[in-house]
Structure 1
Amino acid sequence: MNSLRNPVTRRTFAFGVAATGIALAMGKLAPAAALTQQQELVDKARITFEKLIGSLEFGELPGYLKRAKAVMIFPDIFKAGFVIGGEGGNGVLMVRDPNKGWSQPAFYTLAAGSVGLQIGGQSSETIFTIMSDKALQAVLNDQMKFGGDMSVAAGPIGKGIGANTTTNLDADVYTFAKTAGLFGGVSFNGAGILRKDDWNAVYYGAGTLPQWIVIDRKVSNPNTQDLVNALSPY
């Protein structure tokens, strides 16, 4: 301790202690790295899936999911209007291979506009079960539009969890939507599903197409594992 009697040494020691304290404080108070938009959507998709798959309202969803070619999960589709309405939201597409299981998620967006007597707003967490190869190919080719040649129907509600007696599979796509707000029901007729090439490129690499992610499985991101695991029982 005698060395601390030297004024220069004391100043150097004090500066070192102060610098260490500041560094520790900064380390303790530094915020965690912010999630990217893409990762946030992946995490929200998992939460939405787990919420709906375990809901008594959608007791037949597991049965439909086990027969589906693919699934799209939209954590937040917002629909609002005053005479002229519109809806939109971002989601993910995942395809099941009988041998490889569920694919990584590819990013998509839903967009639609409508005109009519409508007042109010509604937010819905939605799962689309894609039942036909035609519908899946339409999504991959960026030509999916609900209604007309691509039939969409509301999935049944209010039955037992895990029901496997699903027989009515006439529609190309079934929707299971948990809504909040006031709008008078959920209808997706006329809505279009478009791929988000920019998001797929950010998350998986430049030039990545949905086909590479969900069919060819050329690319992957380890941060999707929790979502993939959530779907794996189905």
Structure 2
Amino acid sequence: MSFHRLAVVLLFALYASILPASSASADYYGEPADLVGRAASVYKGFMADPNMEWFQRNVDQARGIFIVPQMLRGGFIIGGSGGRGVLLAQDSGSGKWSYPAFYSMGSVSLGFQVGADASEIILLIMTDRGLNAMLSTDYKIGADVAVAAGPMGASAKAQTADILAFGRSQGIYGGVSLEGAAISPLDDWNRQYYGKPVQLFDVLINQRWTNAQADPLRQLLPKPGRNAQPIGR
């Protein structure tokens, strides 16, 4: 077998080995309530992290917050990533936070990459344009709105973007970006959580749907007229 043909065969074998891991990450949470509970824990972690000072000071300015408790990534040459998350929107008038809508997030990136990790990711949706993009049925980060890495550390400078991405990871990974990651609504999970088919606009913008199970998460978010307060600092 020629070197070129062998390389092609190995490439497809590696790609096939990654796909099940990415798919498995999407099914890590058996119930929507599990994902909401884990999202609350991740948010607490961000609010207690000294490296997330800019996030803590400015989360109250966000139009929406998208929390992905576990974004699994892994690969060699081809990297796959996948996870599920919840999006809550803040009413621009009252400051009241909506109940969560469920989404999947995934991407495939190319590059010389070795390793694997599980990251906690939070996207702060800073503008109406960013929030409107999240309301679409299939959205790719960076396609129609400006996205930037969230400022880190006490001396971080303000960023101007529709969406700011913050992440924490314990693994080792190189060459990964959220640019181009696909975000899609999980209609079956939204229906399961609220007991009937729902529209994203009615959950996030009109705030017509509620589920008391999400109240602990919502109560962690900034209250109207008050800045967020770091936890355990």
- TM-score band, normalised by the shorter chain? 0.7 to 0.9
Please name the residue that 2:53 is paired with.
Answer: 59
Runs of 4+ residues deviating >4 angstroms: none
3-state SS in 1 of match to 2:131: helix
The equivalent of 1:208 in structure 2 is 198
Distance 1:232 1:83 in 2: 41
Aligned partner of 2:125 among 123, 127, 130: 130
**143, 152, 165: which one pairs with 2:147?**
152
- Specify the code of the residue in structure 2 equivalent to 1:196: L
1:108 to 90, 97, 103: 103
Residues paired across the two proteins, number: 195
* 1:35-76 C-alpha deviation (Å, 9 max, x unpaired): 951000000000000100121010010233121111101100
> Is 2:63 the counterpart of 1:69?
yes
Equivalent residue, structure 1, for 2:114:
119
Match of 2:37 in 1: 43
Aligned counterpart, 2:26:
none
Distance 1:186 1:69 in 2: 26
Instruction: Answer yes or no: is 1:90 the counterpart of 2:84.
Output: yes
Task: Give, in whole Å, the separation in 2 of the partners of 1:181 and 1:135.
Answer: 29
- The answer as to 2:136 corresponding to 1:178 is no
1:183 match: secondary structure: coil
2:19 equivalent in structure 1: none
Find the counterpart in structure 2 of residue 21 from structure 1.
none
Shift in Å at residue 118 of structure 1?
1.0
- Shift in CA distance, 149/141, structure 1 to aligned 2, threshold 3 Å: closer
Q: Does 1:222 align with 2:216?
A: no
Aligned-residue sequence identity (percent) comes to 34
- Assess if the C-alpha contact under 8 Å between 2:137 and 2:185 holds in 1: yes
- What's the TM-score once normalised by structure 1's chain length? 0.78
- Which residue number corresponds to residue 3 of structure 2? none
Flag the 1:226–1:141 CA change in 2: closer, same or farther, 3 A.
Answer: same
Q: CA deviation at 1:143?
A: 3.7
Q: Is the 2:202–2:209 contact (alpha carbons within 8 Å) kept by the matching residues of 1?
A: yes
Larger radius of gyration: 1
Distance in 2, Cα, partners of 1:122 & 1:212: 35
RMSD: 1.9
* In structure 2, C-alpha distance between the alignment counterparts of 1:172 and 1:214, rounded to whole Å: 17
Q: Report if aligned partners of 1:73, 1:126 keep a CA contact under 8 Å in 2.
A: yes
What is the deviation of 1:175? 1.1
For normalisation by structure 2, the TM-score amounts to 0.78
- Report the CA distance shift for 1:212/1:199 in structure 2 as closer, same or farther (over 3 A): same
Once the two structures are TM-superposed, the CA of residue 114 in structure 1 deviates from its matched residue by 1.6
Query: Contact 2:98/2:203 (CA < 8 Å) preserved in 1?
Result: yes
Query: Alignment partner of 2:170: what SS?
Result: strand
SS at match of 2:99: coil
Q: Look up the SS of the partner of 1:182 in the other structure.
A: coil
Kept after mapping to 1: 8 A contact 2:151/2:157:
no
Are 1:106 and 1:213, in contact at CA under 8 Å, matched by a contact in 2? yes
Deviation at 1:92, TM superposition (A): 0.4
